[in-house]
Amino acid sequence: MNDTLKTIAERYSCRAYDGRAVEQEKLEAVTLAAVQAPSAMNRQPWEIVVITDKAFIDEMDAVAMTELAAREDKTFYERIKQRGGKIFYNAPCMIVVVKKKTANFDTFDCGIATQNIALAAHSLGLANVICAMAGIPLNGPRGAEFKERIGIAGDDEFGMAVLLGYTDSPGKPHEPDLSKIRFI
């Protein structure tokens, strides 16, 4: 198996970080991989924001948990509480893919950039999880404040986030469901 296929096969969604900071050179490599993603008509409808301010990540985490607790459906809140009560799992770094409103394919293009981040991070020994729930604080009551703090302006919006860091207890990748494959 080649290195790319091995990285894809071994990557897992980490939900337990030990808090160690990620080295700058690894962050630079991961963000370069993000902006090397293909996009429709090469529009590159993204901006990549790297947040390593742990206090800021924890502040957004607390706001997200409060918002989840206030929802009528407590499914996500209870699930996160069972996993330690932190929506961002103590990750020391969050990479936000900001979606630029440019065309019909901006959501798909940001998804491709997000996948590049996750795979590049894993290939560099960084645990990671793609985290749509970062949209909770960014789109909630304090969303305008948080967006301003990370530089999301105008028509731009939250696309996706990837949490990065190190873990002391590596997980396992999910079992692929081969029944989801059809050849015609």
Q: Tell me whether residue 178 is in a domain.
A: no
Within a domain: 43: yes
Question: For the chain, how long is the longest CA-to-CA vector?
Answer: 51
- Condensed to tens digits (0 to 9), the pLDDT of residues 21-69 reads 999 999 999 999 999 999 999 999 999 999 999 999 999 999 999 999 9
Structure-token match 């961002």, residue found:
88
Instruction: CATH number of the domain at 97, please.
Output: 3.40.109.10
For 54-84, b where at least 16 C-beta lie within 10 A, e where not — what string?
Answer: beebeebbebbbebbeeeeeeebbeebeeee
Per-residue pLDDT of 58-106, as tens digits, reads 999 999 999 999 999 999 899 999 988 999 999 999 999 999 987 678 8
Domain count, the chain: 1
Assigned domain for 78 exists = yes
Give burial (CB, 10 Å; 0-12/13-18/19+) of 176. Answer: exposed
Domain housing 32: 14-168
pTM recorded for the entire structure: 0.94
Distance (Å, whole) CA 143 – CA 170: 32
Is residue 65 a part of any domain in this protein?
yes
